[in-house]
Amino acid sequence: MNVKKNYTCAIAKSINLLGDKWSLLILRDAILHKKSRFKEFKSSKEKIATNILSNRLKSLLEASLIVKLNPLGTKKSTRYIATDKGISTLPIIIDLYSFSIDSIDESILNESQIKIKQAITSDRNLFEETKKNEYLNFIQELKSSL
């Protein structure tokens, strides 16, 4: 039975949608790493279990944070892309990244992480806008190839 909750606080509602670790990591992988297939999400370094990935994709679909494209009606052709609502989580993802990376000794960061930290520190708005535009271009190319 699906019980609809009435939230009296916007933060409580947001945490219900995004509060588990996997939802934001799936959105991160979609938007920042341009992953769109189940297999690509499954191969992320965090090692999400197949059943949890399936469940989170379903939750993100129900919350309209992602949409499912399936042009051929097969599992192999299925793609998941972030909606405008899903893309609007990008500032949250960047905030969490910034919060985390600021507390890590730079000597243990890899070259890519250092570049991202420098880009965010230099001009966060530009970084965010660039990543958003890169993802929108990716979606456009993906849709035109289907």
- Res 64: pLDDT: 95
How many Å apart are CA 100 and CA 117, to the nearest integer? 10
> 137-145: long-range contacts (C-beta < 8 A, 24 or more apart)?
138/34, 139/81, 139/82, 142/36, 142/69, 142/79, 142/81, 143/69
Domains and CATH numbers, the chain: 17-145 (1.10.10.10)
Average pLDDT of the residues in 66-83: 90
Please give the structure tokens belonging to residue 102. Answer: 């600021």
- Res 4: pLDDT: 59
Helix and strand element counts for the chain (H, E) = 8, 2
pLDDT over 50 (residue 1): no
Nearest to 129 by CA among 121, 138, 118, 120: 120
The pTM of the full predicted model, rounded to 2 decimals, is: 0.86
pLDDT tens-place string over residues 31-74: 999 999 999 999 999 999 999 999 999 999 999 999 999 878 77
Q: Which residue has the tokens 């192999």?
A: 76
Model confidence at 18, pLDDT cuts 50, 70, 90, reads confident
pLDDT over 50 (residue 93): yes
Q: Which residue has the tokens 């090692």?
A: 47
pLDDT tens-place string over residues 95-138: 988 888 878 777 888 888 888 888 988 999 999 999 999 999 99
Provide the 3-class DSSP secondary structure of residue 109: coil
